[in-house]
Amino acid sequence: MLPPPGRLVHEVAIVADGSGIMGADKKERPMEVQVVPSFAEMSRRGAAMIGAAIAERPDLVLALPTGATPIALYRELVAAYAQGQANFSRTQTFNLDEYCGLGPDHPASYHTYMRENLWDHVNLPPEQAHIPNGAAADPERECERYEQAVAAAGYPDLAVLGIGHNGHVGFNEPGAALRSTVHVADLSAETRSLAFHAWRDLSPCLFPQLAAFPTHAITMGMGTILKSRRILLLASGAGKAQAVCRAVNGDVTTRLPASFLQLHPRVTLLVDTAAAALL
C-alpha cells in the first residue's frame, strides 16, 4: 500500500527476486527500504550485508541488537564463520543496551543472549565484544565508560538495529525528550510487559511477576546511534508495521524514536512483507 497523499516520498521498484526496493528521495527522506518476502530472507540478507562489510573492512566497528528479530541473522553469521566465509578476528562489536540489575550470567541478560547466539560460536576476541555492564555498582559511571569506549573505537561503522512495537531503538523509549549519549533509560510499561510475558512463556520461574522484571536499562543514546556511519534497521512481522510506517513516513518526533533515523544519510531498512504492509 502506498503512503497517503502528501507523504509519498518513495518510488517503488520491484526487483527480480520479487522484493520491493524503495529508492529514497534524497532531499526529503534518505531512508532506503528493502522489502523481502520472509523473516528467513531478512535474516539471510542482513547477515550477508554484515559479512560483506567485514570482508571489506576486517576491523569494522559494529553496533549490535538483541531480541527476537536478529536471532536467525546471528545464526547465519555463525554458519558463515563455520564455513570459513566470515572472520571476526579484527572486528569490534558494541551492543546497544543491557538491562540494569542483571549480571552477565543472568539468563535474561543480553550478555547471555550474545554469548549463546554469537560470541561463543565465532572467533570474535572477547576483549573486542563490548556490552554495558547492567550490574555495575554505579550505572551512571558505567554509561560514561561505555560512551567513551564507543567513542574511542571511532563510533560504529555499521549499526544494526531492531525497532520496538512502540518505535524504540535500543532502549530509547518514546517520550517528551530523547537523550543523546549512553544513559540509564526508564523502560516503558509496554516494553516491560512484552519482555516479561516472553520470558514467562520460556521460563516461568525466572521473573515470578512483572514487578520482578527490570525497570531500567543502559542504552546507547540516539546521538550515539546516529554517529554511526551506516545504519541497518531490521523489522519483521505485522506487529511492527505501524512503527515501521511511522519511522519511514511520519514526522520526526521523540514520540517515535526510530523516526530520527530519517535524519541520517545512510540508513537501510530491511523488512519482510508483513512489517512493510503499511508502507
Give yes or no for residue 162 binding ligand PGA (CB under 6 A).
yes
Give yes or no for residue 69 binding ligand PGA (CB under 6 A).
yes
Kindly tell me which residue out of 134, 156, 164, 167 binds ligand PGA, with binding defined by CB under 6 A: 164
Contact pattern for ligand PGA over residues 23 through 62, marking x by CB under 6 A = ----------------------------------------
Q: Residue 95 forms beta bridges with which residues?
A: 64
Which of the residues 10, 111, 168, 183 is marked catalytic? 168
Give yes or no for residue 214 binding ligand PGA (CB under 6 A).
no
The nearest distance, CB 38 to ligand PGA, in angstroms, is 16
Q: Which of these segments, 14-22, 24-32, 65-73, 202-210, binds ligand PGA (CB under 6 A)? A: 65-73
**Residue 99 to residue 196: CA distance in whole angstroms:** 12
Kindly tell me which residue out of 3, 30, 51, 67 binds ligand PGA, with binding defined by CB under 6 A: 67
**Residue 254 to residue 178: CA distance in whole angstroms:** 6
**Residue 245 to residue 241: CA distance in whole angstroms:** 6
The nearest distance, CB 69 to ligand PGA, in angstroms, is 3
Contact pattern for ligand PGA over residues 168 through 187, marking x by CB under 6 A = x-------------------
Helix ranges restricted to H, 109-214: 110-117, 139-152, 189-202
Q: Where are the beta strands (DSSP E) in the chain?
A: 10-14, 20-24, 32-36, 61-64, 92-95, 97-99, 129-130, 158-161, 183-186, 216-219, 230-235, 267-272
| φ, ψ of residue 176 in degrees (nearest 5) | -75, -20
The residue count for binding ligand PGA (CB under 6 A) is 7
Give yes or no for residue 167 binding ligand PGA (CB under 6 A).
no
The nearest distance, CB 221 to ligand PGA, in angstroms, is 15
Secondary structure (DSSP) of 206-232: TSSSGGGS--EEEE--HHHHHTSSEEE
Q: Nine-digit cell at 172?
A: 530509547
Instruction: Look up 166 and say whether it is catalytic.
Output: yes
Dihedral through CA 31, CA 114, CA 192, CA 173, nearest 10?
-30
Which of the residues 10, 41, 76, 97 is marked catalytic? 97
Q: Which residues bind ligand PGA (CB under 6 A)?
A: 67-69, 162-164, 168
Supply the residues annotated as catalytic: 97, 166, 168, 173
